[in-house]
Amino acid sequence: MRASISGAMRKGRSGDESWLQSNNAATPEIRHVTSETHIPSTPRSTSATTETPELTLPRAAMRPVKVAFDVLMAAILFLAALPVFAIIWLLVRWDGGPGFYGHLRIGKHGVPFHCLKFRTMTVNSDQALADHLASNPAAAIEWSATRKLENDPRITPIGRFLRRTSLDEIPQLLNVLRTDMSLVGPRPVVEDELRYYGPNAGYYQAVRPGITGLWQISGRSDTSYEERVALDTRYVREWSFRRDLVILAQTLPAVLLQKGAK
């Protein structure tokens, strides 16, 4: 068994370079994922047709290594970032609101968890968004298509900086330590967004969401939601521990260049 596992892993390594090079090419077609630039107005239900991916023996054997690596690296990174962590928390708290924001997201096997971030929005963000969309039809269309806004009235000045530099996501190291998340994986989504994955929702729910991932280094907000679904599905289908390491290595340049950050 050891020989077969190591042989499969060597074969996987040889394909890593071509796998990464093809990242910047056209995203491969994923079933029920179109190339349109907007989210479908009538998303499909995932209850009856969701695919459940199966891991081959070599890939399944590497999963415990991934978890151990995640926890170890998250602990090291958290301790190293602790002074920055404390300073950001104080700056965010300056307006009297909470320092952290825990949004309910969907994790592995569909189990919800609170995804932690430094708060980047005003305390009355829900009302501010509703008012803005009601009075601005163009913003309403933009929100419907991407779930993001170019000029979001909810974001605080310090929050805008944190989002642009991705520093708002530092608290997610705690999610990794609690094994709610991984260092690398699909970015966590809310339950409502799973509808847009169609039958490919099973791929998203087969792994723990990640702080970074294939979508994160491929343009983030510069990509359409259909492209995001295709990238997430591709990541799970072609997962290997070595590819996780390459994605981690490419994350820092993507963050420094603020690639797709909004």
Q: What is the pLDDT of residue 258?
A: 65
pLDDT band of residue 262 (cuts 50, 70, 90) is low
65-79, 146-160, 162-176, 185-199: least confident range: 146-160
Q: What is the pLDDT of residue 125?
A: 82
pLDDT at 8 over 60: no
Tokens of 212: 């970074």
Q: What is the pLDDT of residue 58?
A: 58
Q: Residue 102: count other Cβ atoms within 10 Å of its Cβ.
A: 14
Q: Provide φ and ψ at 206, rounded to 5°.
A: -80, -15
- As a whole-number percent, the residues of the chain with pLDDT over 70 amount to 75
pLDDT band of residue 219 (cuts 50, 70, 90) is confident
pLDDT at 191 over 70: yes
Domain ranges for the chain:
61-120+155-256
Q: What is the pLDDT of residue 56?
A: 57
Q: What is the pLDDT of residue 34?
A: 35
Amino acid identity, position 106: I
Residue whose token pair is 């939601």: 225
Average pLDDT over residues 92-107: 92
**Nearest in space to 223 (alpha carbons), one of 16, 17, 15, 33:** 33
* DSSP three-state, residue 243: helix
Q: What is the pLDDT of residue 162?
A: 94
Q: What is the pLDDT of residues 43-55, one digit of tens each?
A: 443 444 556 666 5
Q: Cα angle at 105 between 238 and 199, to 5 degrees?
A: 45
Q: What is the pLDDT of residue 33?
A: 36
3-state helix, strand, coil in the chain (%, to 5): 60, 10, 30
pLDDT band of residue 115 (cuts 50, 70, 90) is very high
Q: What is the pLDDT of residues 145-182, one digit of tens each?
A: 777 788 888 899 999 999 888 899 999 999 999 999 99
pLDDT at 187 over 90: yes
Q: Judge whether 258 and 163 are in contact, CB under 8 Å.
A: no
d(CA 245, CA 248): 5
pTM, to two decimals: 0.73
d(CA 173, CA 167): 11
189 Cβ neighbours under 8 A, 6+ residues apart: 105, 106, 204, 209
Amino acid identity, position 138: A
Tokens of 101: 């924001």
**Could you tell me how far CA 123 lies from the centroid of its own chain?**
24
Q: Judge whether 146 and 241 are in contact, CB under 8 Å.
A: no
Tokens of 146: 């991407």
pLDDT band of residue 221 (cuts 50, 70, 90) is low
Q: What is the pLDDT of residues 233-244, one digit of tens each?
A: 999 999 999 999
d(CA 248, CA 211): 10
Q: What is the pLDDT of residue 26?
A: 40
DSSP string, 29-57: P-TT----SS--SSPPP-TTT-------H
Q: Judge whether 193 and 223 are in contact, CB under 8 Å.
A: no
The helix-helix angle for 2-21 and 241-256 (nearest 10°) equals: 30
